[in-house]
Structure 1
Amino acid sequence: MREVAFIKQNKEKWLKFEKAIFNDDLKDPDALASEYIQIINDLSYAQTFYPKSKIIGYLNQLAAKAFQKIYKTKREDTNRIVGFWKTEVPLLTYQYRKFIYIAFAVFSLFTAIGVISAANDGEFVRSILGDAYVNMTLENIEAGDPVAVYKSGSNWGSFIGITVNNLKVGLIAFILGVFGGFGTLWVLFKNCIMLGSFQYFFYEKEVFWESVRGIWIHGAMEIFAIVIEAAAGLILGASILFPGTYSRMESFKRGVKVGVKILISTFPFTFSAGFLEGFVTRYSNVMPNFLSVGIILLTLSLIGYYYLMYPFVVQKKMQQSILTSGRLNEV
């Protein structure tokens, strides 16, 4: 059978099944389980006869979602919170990974614009950060502690204030995705321009390394989390602009649901970044290089692995479980 005929023959069945799964319409689990087996068979058929077809990815994602819904164990139900971060979010970030890649590409571009602008305009940093902040930083540099600003206030006060602010930035970046993703891009643009110009300022004053040792102790998780939150906003925007086979409202609801889950997944990292900024960064100038660098690499590795590598691990395990389940049901 030709691929076009295969898709035409089964499209209605797939869409009906997809709607039931994503809308949690599980009134007849036995019927859905039977349809799930048919999806598995279609997936196996497509892998055999159309190995380069995009339909394989679609059926694989559909089967993975169905597997989660239909074959949940009681133990998984009692550990819903653990399952959220262990399985559900990684599968979502795998499915929507292109938005994460886009968010990182845009982040890099906007940050580079900040660096280039600061390098070519001596007043650019002041226009972005303000005279008061720049003057204070210059005084700190002259005093031998470029990141002294992170040592002001109490530990708990800094932790709470910084965490609340970062949560607010993430929420705004996501919510403004409702404007087709352009609001999210604007939030990302403002923060990246600030970051790029800020880091170039330290480079220009020949204290770049000192700034890295201090800022990125908490910044690795903080900035990474904001990029992921921006990706959630872009998912929301895309759900409005590109509804696909769904009505625009239905697509929007799905975008909100997925985006909120990815947004919530960043909160532990945001809290961790706030804790580091409140309790650890203030000691960056007295701790040895290996310790500050070790913290930066550890935090960056943790959040990087969770969003960029672990989703592939979970997806592979899920695919193996799906195929195994399909074979067992055929016996």
Structure 2
Amino acid sequence: MSSPPGVLRQKSQLSAWSQFGIRMGLLLVLLAFIIAVHWIERDSFRDNLDGEMSFADIIYFTMISATTTGYGDIVPVTERARLFDALVVTPIRIFFILILAGTAYTFVIKRTWNNWLMQRLQKTLTGHIIVAGFGNSGSEAVGELIQRGFDPRRMVVIDQSNPALERAEALGCMVMQADATRDSTMEAVRVSEARAVIVSAGRDDTSILICLTARHLASAVPISVVVRAGDNEFPAKAAGATTVINPVSFAGLLLAGSTEGAGIADYMADLASASGRVRLHEREIEPFEVGKALKDAAVGVGLRILRGTQSIGWWEPEAVRLEAGDRIIEIIPDHLFPRVPTV
């Protein structure tokens, strides 16, 4: 039996003082409501001291009855007033205690609030990016996505380290402290509705297991996995990864490229970074582009056509005619790069 997932949460846009003000404001509104009803029904109360019910007496009686059971100097004398105090004031008095009393009550409220907030956030989870692991690679990926214009509120970070989650939450991401290898965790973050999944758990075996979990729950979602051992690239592919990235291999490519000229490594880094002058862009062709050559359809410089499982270079004969369903890879200037939608 799988263990329940953690709580999905997002950094509140309200400061601690703002949240305190909201609570105090709610208490004042409830007190004002009771005072108004008591004042309207003041003939239903009797002051045992002077027989007169002034506005000050109403305020006094409201404060006493809302926080204690009263002293008996002012009492309701009609059935309607007694029912109001029993059915309305008494529950409000309990609510006051829950807000102002000790940590036991606070824990109950916080847990209920977190469950409600998690359900509310889950309803909005569609087209989001799930990041399993917020170590060096995961945090770099999130930072790069934010630079590219992706709304951090549409990213869910899963990690078991609370300091890592605090860093992700500070960026505006939704976070969950849980085990990403569990079905219940991936179901809680609605992996089947995700735009993409990024897996960088720090250990290859854990990353591959997370990939397996995500893939069997979401057969069509793109999954990118970071592995550090070259012989784990095939198992990651077999586990359902759409893209397998080996940082060591990529660093080796940059190093090898730099021996042919320093500009090659710089240009490769330029292509990969959101801060670069050019970007690599993959997209499905538009209907009006069917029949055109790759070089005529590309916004910038067309490099490759992805046709099913076939990869066609710009120099090959098939690149002179695009077909419906083709995807192309192109290099375009940064200012023309389509920003990621935030809705």
> Normalising by structure 1, what TM-score?
0.23
Give 1 or 2: higher helix fraction: 1
TM-score of the aligned structures, taking structure 2 as reference length? 0.22
Instruction: Mark the structure with the bigger radius of gyration.
Output: 2
Higher relative contact order (CA 8 A, sep 6+): 1
Question: Greater strand percent: which structure?
Answer: 2
